[in-house]
Amino acid sequence: MRFFLGALLLLAIAAIAPMFVRLEYFYFAGFVVLQFIVLATAWNILGGFAGYVNFGTGAFFAVGAYSAVALYKAVALPLGLQILAGAATAGLLGLGVGLLTLRLRGIFFSIATIAITIILETVVMNWTYVGGAKGLPILRPTEIPLHFTNYTQWLFFVMTGIVLIAVAIARYIQTGWIGRGLRAIRDNEGAAECSGVPTLKLKLAAATVSGALMGAAGAPFAQYLSFIEPSSAFSLNYAVNALAMPIIGGTAHWIGPVIGAILLGSVQQIVTVTISSEMNVLVVGVMLVVFVVAAPEGVLGLWRRYVLKKGDE
């Protein structure tokens, strides 16, 4: 109950924030951080809970983005329905990719997800209806919903809602029988299968949910930038960040990706403003190396090791 009350409180804060914070860049940068929270949470469902490292985040993100663009261009679909369509399309992609690749293990699965990203990017680059390799400018709707004064504030509010849904799903998965099954797969898939755990079904479910959430995160992308092109939608940075953030925060718990995304995403936005956006990849690399070496269990591991241990003493 406390979780859902907290979620409603955060949504209410996002709704009233424009009354107190007028600076548009706050919402522009905040949208990116919120987007990273969704991507990191989605990645952790398959990569953290089940131990299947997915380097194809950009593919699911872009499928959600381009599904929304195609429908917006065809029938001027509202943003909410664009997000649902993007999530459904990316979820089906996750299911299809799972059927093709989840029998592979370790590095072979990861390589397969990279290959799928390359294939889909090539297809989109030759799809002229959504701009192809040149990209496509997007005109935002002229009407801004509710009391928001600009469309970026509305997108910030919408992404806050997606974050809360993604985190609620990850929390439900972790605390239920699905999470226990996925952890058994991560620890020893052979033993889990021998014990009667439906390994393939659980992996397919995780891949579908993970893909759907990544697609939902990508659906507002074109509206956010007012432009879309394959090189930005399929960017490898999404895969790198979606992997790094759960590792930095801690993959064992649903809150870990949230912490990692807020920490790393905020640092990246500060570096973008103060130094250069070209430094973002360096920031990710340095922080990832530091945490892998000094705190393999992430921020949550440090918390358990030092804070909780001192409390017990």
Q: For 175-192, what is the mean pLDDT?
A: 92
Contact 83, 61 (CB under 8 A): no
Q: What is the pLDDT of residue 311?
A: 54
Q: How confident is the model at residue 308 (pLDDT cuts 50, 70, 90)?
A: low
pLDDT tens track for 3-23: 889 889 999 999 999 888 888
Q: What CATH number does the domain located at 2-312 have?
A: 1.10.3470
Q: Which residue has the higher pLDDT, 106 or 223?
A: 223
Report helix, strand or coil for 22. coil
Q: Give the separation between CA 229 and CA 216, rounded to whole angstroms.
A: 18
DSSP class per residue in 91-103? HHHHHHHHHHHTT
Domain positions in the chain are 2-312
Instruction: Kindly tell me if the per-residue pLDDT of 293 is higher than 90.
Output: no
Q: How confident is the model at residue 215 (pLDDT cuts 50, 70, 90)?
A: very high
Q: For 174-184, what is the mean pLDDT?
A: 94
Contact 87, 216 (CB under 8 A): yes
Instruction: Kindly tell me if the per-residue pLDDT of 298 is higher than 60.
Output: yes
Q: Give the separation between CA 54 and CA 46, rounded to whole angstroms.
A: 8
This prediction has a pTM of 0.94
Q: Give the separation between CA 250 and CA 186, rounded to whole angstroms.
A: 15
Q: What is the pLDDT of residue 22?
A: 85
pLDDT tens track for 110-151: 899 999 999 999 999 999 999 999 999 998 888 888 888 899
Q: What is the pLDDT of residue 183?
A: 94
Q: What is the pLDDT of residue 312?
A: 53
Residue 275, H or E segment? none
Alpha helices in the chain (DSSP H): 2-16, 24-47, 57-75, 79-101, 107-125, 151-175, 177-194, 199-218, 221-225, 230-233, 236-249, 255-274, 280-294, 298-302, 309-312
pLDDT tens track for 43-79: 999 999 999 999 999 999 999 999 999 999 999 899 9
Q: Give the separation between CA 242 and CA 257, rounded to whole angstroms.
A: 9
